[in-house]
Chain A
Amino acid sequence: MSDSAPIELPEGLWSQPAVDTSAVDSITDVESVQLITTPAKFVYDYTPGVARTRFLRAIEQKRLVGQRCPETQKVYIPPAGVSPVSGLPTLEEVELGLDGTVVSYCIVNLDFTGNAQEIPYVSALILVDGSDIPIYGLVREIAPEDVHFGLRLKSVWVEPEEMTTSFENIKWWAPNGEPDVPKSELADYV
């Protein structure tokens, strides 16, 4: 193949010319396939580890728990069992509130979820009361344009009989009616 001629690229957009199917009777007068679905699937046997198991068992009881870094005193949720800053084990478990504060958000106008979520919707970073790192959450029961930095939220949970060891126990977050948290108090979390 070393002596083959240089490849001439077509002008303009790189697109393929139409094919000539006249030699194949069976496909000349039928609708051509143009689109296929090629699902890719990965099946994992997943274990969240000890720290997140404790977090998930708590969430089954409608509790949010974090773990505190022994050096920086920062509280992490969901806990990983180790401080990402000091590298030390986070041995102290901390009971957190069920409310939180918006520290960042995004109004989503694109359908990423295959219609699982009606657009527009608001995805926010929410600082759960008592923690030092925000978690992702869906914000509802408020017009997307009214969501703002410092907005106070409550977690909205599935019915008690639907509670499992899953983060999906929290359906979404909604305004809890409290006054906004001043910007100065959130400076470390943005």
Chain B
Amino acid sequence: MSDQPTGQAANQAADDDVLRAPLLLEYPFRRTTGPVIGAYFTALREGHLVGILDDSGRVICPPVEYDPQSGKSLTKIVPVSSEGEVVHWTWNSMIREGQPFDHPFAWALIKLDGADTPIYHAVDASHEQMSAGMRVRARFALERRGEVSDLECFEPAN
């Protein structure tokens, strides 16, 4: 460094001299729902669950816009029950920000009564309560705004 008399080691600093700060990057996206997802969210806001009738007469819940087999547009919204049965589940003990609870809970595939496909959601229950085949019911948010979080979670039905 003898040939750099003005260098004054500009880039040397003790680690604790280096700045550090939280950096928040946030995008406030707005999305149009389209008629199918719009109907689903409208129903959630009213405290109900709906599915959609596919080409072969099955009820898909949550509703999808196109038939999974034929690709044709689907339009017939039908009611499904707010109660159903856990098909599969897994336990979540490592809680992260943005998850529905601050305590351990289950993620589950739940086939609602009247639906032919399962919905994926959180179940607020103890590990001991969880089992495939257990009955659960929807718990809706108290203040609902017509969005996916209006359906807070599922809970044991008994």
Residues of A within 8 A of B (CB): 1, 4-5, 7-8, 10, 16-21, 23-24, 26-27, 30-54, 56-57, 67, 70, 81, 89-93, 114, 165
Q: How far is the CA of A134 from the CA of B31 in the complex (A)?
A: 37
Q: Point out the residues of chain B lying under 8 angstroms from A4, CB to CB.
A: 69-71
- CB pair B24 A26 closer than 8 Å: no
- CB pair B6 A7 closer than 8 Å: no
Q: How far is the CA of A92 from the CA of B25 in the complex (A)?
A: 33
Residues of B within 8 A of A (CB): 4, 6-13, 17-36, 38-39, 41-43, 45-48, 50, 52, 65, 69-73, 75-79, 146-148
Q: Point out the residues of chain B lying under 8 angstroms from A7, CB to CB.
A: 70-72
Q: How far is the CA of A24 from the CA of B82 in the complex (A)?
A: 14
Partner of B76, one of A5, A23, A43: A23
Q: Point out the residues of chain A lying under 8 angstroms from B7, CB to CB.
A: 91-92
Closest to A89 in B: B11
- CB pair A27 B31 closer than 8 Å: no
Partner of B29, one of A19, A21, A30, A40: A40
- CB pair A19 B77 closer than 8 Å: yes
- CB pair A23 B32 closer than 8 Å: no
- CB pair A38 B29 closer than 8 Å: yes
Q: How far is the CA of A26 from the CA of B13 in the complex (A)?
A: 65
- CB pair B39 A27 closer than 8 Å: yes
Q: How far is the CA of A49 from the CA of B18 in the complex (A)?
A: 6
Q: Point out the residues of chain A lying under 8 angstroms from B69, CB to CB.
A: 1, 4
Q: How far is the CA of A16 from the CA of B147 in the complex (A)?
A: 20
- CB pair A5 B30 closer than 8 Å: no
- CB pair B20 A47 closer than 8 Å: yes
**In the complex, how many angstroms separate the beta carbon of A14 from the nearest chain B beta carbon?**
10
Partner of A41, one of B8, B18, B25, B146: B25
- CB pair A16 B4 closer than 8 Å: no
- CB pair B43 A27 closer than 8 Å: yes
Q: Point out the residues of chain B lying under 8 angstroms from A8, CB to CB.
A: 72
- CB pair B29 A42 closer than 8 Å: no
With A27-B43, A46-B23 as contacts: A36 and B75 at CB distance below 8 Å? no
Q: Point out the residues of chain A lying under 8 angstroms from B21, CB to CB.
A: 46-47
**In the complex, how many angstroms separate the beta carbon of A102 from the nearest chain B beta carbon?**
29
Q: Point out the residues of chain B lying under 8 angstroms from A38, CB to CB.
A: 29-31
Partner of B31, one of A18, A20, A30, A35: A35
**In the complex, how many angstroms separate the beta carbon of A12 from the nearest chain B beta carbon?**
14
- CB pair B42 A18 closer than 8 Å: no
- CB pair A50 B36 closer than 8 Å: no
Partner of A24, one of B34, B77, B147: B77
Q: Point out the residues of chain B lying under 8 angstroms from A42, CB to CB.
A: 24-26
Partner of A53, one of B18, B25, B72: B18
Q: Point out the residues of chain A lying under 8 angstroms from B71, CB to CB.
A: 4, 7
Q: How far is the CA of A122 from the CA of B17 in the complex (A)?
A: 36
Listed A/B pairs (23) with beta-carbon separation below 8 Å: A1-B69, A18-B75, A19-B77, A20-B76, A24-B79, A27-B46, A27-B48, A30-B42, A30-B46, A33-B147, A34-B32, A37-B29, A37-B147, A39-B28, A41-B27, A44-B24, A47-B19, A47-B20, A47-B21, A50-B11, A51-B10, A51-B11, A70-B4
